Amino acid sequence: MEAPEKIHHPDDVTKEKESSFTPENDSEAAPTFKVEGEVDVFGDEASAEVKYKTMAWWQAGMVMIAENISLGILSLPAVMKAIGLGPGLIVLLCLCLITTYSGYLYYVFKMKYPFINNVADVGGIIFGAWGQELVGLAYNIFNIFCMASHVLTFMICFNVITEHGTCTLVWGVVAVIVFFLFLIPRTLKNVSYFSIASALSIGSAVVLTMIALGVSPKPNAHITGFAHPSFPAGMLETTNVVFAFACHNSFPALISELKDPRDFPKSLAMLQIVNTILYVIVAVVVYRYAGDMVTAPALGSTGFLVRKIAYGIALPTIIIAGVIFGHLSCKSFYLRIFKGTPYLHSRGFVATASWLGIDAAICVVSFIIAASIPNFSNLLGFVSSLFASLFSYALGGIMWLHVYRGDYFSGPKRIAAFAAAVGLILIGAAICGLGLYASGKALHDDSSGASWSCADNSQS
């Protein structure tokens, strides 16, 4: 059965289609999931060729971990160098707490509107048709830019491993082919198996980096407890911490493909616990032994041989985490074209050719972006400022205001939640405005690499 078209105009949804989740019957800890007269985004899959709702909660957790603990973790030691160890850890821990709460608000919203599949649908419910188009555009641009950051890291990786054996753009073309092949599976359950390899890969690479630095620390490495960077430099590095917690835009899609969507809080807890522990350990240890000679990505902070080995070990993460972002955009476009048609669950020629065509287009666009912004930190800062500020912070607050509209001040608990929602919106706005200024200035001033250049970008 097709999901209701009135998602674009929520005020017109009939009473029997509304969720039984209301401010009056909500405990805020366990939102009601059952929706009378409504279906989820994929409908009845009992006889479908391609079934989407197949993930266990731990598989969703692995996908989220693979998204976050990839390029984000590689930027954190350089953040400690730029703003100091003390402020860096404070920012990291605070953003962990804030994004855990905003992630839970995605779950609350999805429980009320189970027929949504991505943040574009969230925009449609809150703002109407124009909101769905605008937020959907931001969603896909964000995913493609994130994938581009992985294409860029792939190019850096092979320049390190091969000692710049060929033109950097050639490695970009190789990345496009590899990413295209990994994007062929159409369900997130299949991608989740790749995610296990991704987590093991990045974990092994950063452990090797830490051991190598511990055995042979950088000589005369200088460590700063409280640095005094210029505002643009400090803000740019802070946006890299934002990127380390920036997979919220994928939450509705992940919940949609869970066997039981009510298990999502377990996935979220798994993500944030693993994230924070690893982030703190890697940021502190690498910065402690590399000091002011730390690089971004952090794998470049070791000696030449270890650096090559570490990048080789990290290669599955570089590929798979980028594939997850690409998959989300592929799924978004595919649903937009085929939702409510037999092709959605088909393995036939039209369905398969369409998926592969979308896959190819997204890979090519990601390569164009990676070749145009050749500096790793600058690209992450730009993406975080423009999009993570919305998806990981502001949109969570907006969703809370929508769910509890008309009941913001019914008691102390609700008033505190209202203040938290407004705070999320203000934090998102601040990150967006200040971060765009900082990353824009960095892109303007940067001379470490040239766009569309064959030059070695592994030292930029």
| Residue 63, CA distances (Å) to 57, 197, 261, 282, 317 in order | 10, 11, 15, 20, 11
Which range among 124-128, 354-358, 385-389, 436-440 has the greatest average pLDDT?
354-358
Average pLDDT over residues 288-293: 87
Output b/e per residue, 209-235; b: 16+ Cβ within 10 A. bbebbeeeebeebeebeebebeebebb
Taking all residues of the chain, what is their mean pLDDT, rounded to a whole number?
84
Please give the distance of CA 84 from its chain centroid, rounded to a whole number.
Answer: 25
pLDDT at 459: 66
**CA–CA distance, 204 with 187 (Å, rounded to integer):** 27
Q: Between these two residues, 323 and 188, which has the higher pLDDT value?
A: 323
pLDDT of residue 13: 38
Residue labelled with tokens 């377990």: 266
| Range 283-297 average pLDDT | 86
Q: Per the structure block, which two tokens stand in for 387?
A: 């999009």
Whether pLDDT at 145 is above 90: no
Cα 442-321-296 angle, rounded to 5 deg = 35
Helical (H) or strand (E) element with 329: helix 304-338
Q: Smallest Cα–Cα separation from 279: which of 47, 72, 34, 48?
A: 72
Q: Can you read off the two tokens belonging to residue 71?
A: 């390029």
pLDDT in tens, 67-94: 788 767 878 888 898 899 999 999 999 9
pLDDT of amino acid 31: 59
What are the Cα distances from residue 309, in Å, to 153, 176, 208, 455? 15, 23, 9, 22
SS3 7: helix
SS3 (DSSP) at 217 = coil
Work out the pLDDT band at 341, boundaries 50, 70, 90.
Answer: confident
Q: How does pLDDT run across 102-115, given as a tens digit for each residue?
A: 999 999 999 999 88
Where is mean pLDDT largest: 93-97, 145-149, 369-373?
A: 93-97
User: Rounded to whole angstroms, how far apart are CA atoms 97 and 387?
Assistant: 19
- pLDDT value, residue 98: 95
Which residues, listed in sequence order, are joined to residue 258 by a DSSP beta bridge? Answer: 55
Helix %, strand %, coil % of the chain (to 5): 70, 0, 25
> Residue 277 — very low, low, confident or very high, per pLDDT cuts 50/70/90?
very high
How buried is 65 (Cβ within 10 angstroms: 0-12 exposed, 13-18 middle, 19+ buried)?
buried
Average pLDDT score over residue span 54-74? 85
Please tell me the predicted confidence (pLDDT) of residue 460: 53
Would you mind telling me the total number of residues written for the chain in this entry?
460
CB-CB contact of 332 with 139 (8 Å): yes
52 within 8 A of 45, measured Cβ to Cβ: yes
Residue in 49, 136, 50 with CA at minimum distance from that of residue 333: 136
Cα atoms in the Cβ-side hemisphere of radius 13 Å centred on 69: 32
The alpha-helical segments, DSSP class H, found in 162-223 are 168-182, 188-215
Segment 210-235 shows an average pLDDT of 83
SS3 (DSSP) at 391: helix
Q: What percent of the chain has pLDDT over 70?
A: 87
| Closest-CA residue to 218 (of 328, 333, 300) | 300
Q: According to the model, what pLDDT value does residue 10 have?
A: 41
Q: Place 326 in a pLDDT band, splitting at 50, 70 and 90.
A: very high
- CA dihedral (20, 23, 29, 31) in degrees, to 10, reads 20
Mind listing the pLDDT tens digit for each residue in 163-191?
888 999 999 999 999 999 999 988 877 77
Q: Kindly report whether the peptide bond that precedes residue 87 is cis, defined as omega within 30 degrees of 0.
A: no
**How far apart are the C-alpha atoms of 188 and 141, rounded to whole Å?**
20
What pLDDT is attached to residue 382?
78
- DSSP 8-state assignment for residue 156: H
DSSP code of 459?
T
Where exactly are the structural domains of the chain?
Answer: 60-445
Let me know: does 236 contact 438? Beta carbons within 8 Å: yes
Model pLDDT for residues 27-41, shown as the tens digit of each residue: 444 455 344 335 667
Q: How far apart are CA 46 and CA 140, in angstroms?
A: 30
Phi, psi dihedral angles at 258 (to 5 degrees): -80, 145
Burial bucket for residue 411 (CB in 10 Å: 0-12, 13-18, 19+): exposed
Alpha helical stretches, state H, 339-447? 349-372, 376-383, 389, 395-403, 412-445
Q: Provide the pLDDT for residue 228.
A: 82
Does 3.10.20.340 match the CATH number of domain 60-445? no
Euclidean distance between CA atoms 314 and 100, whole angstroms: 26
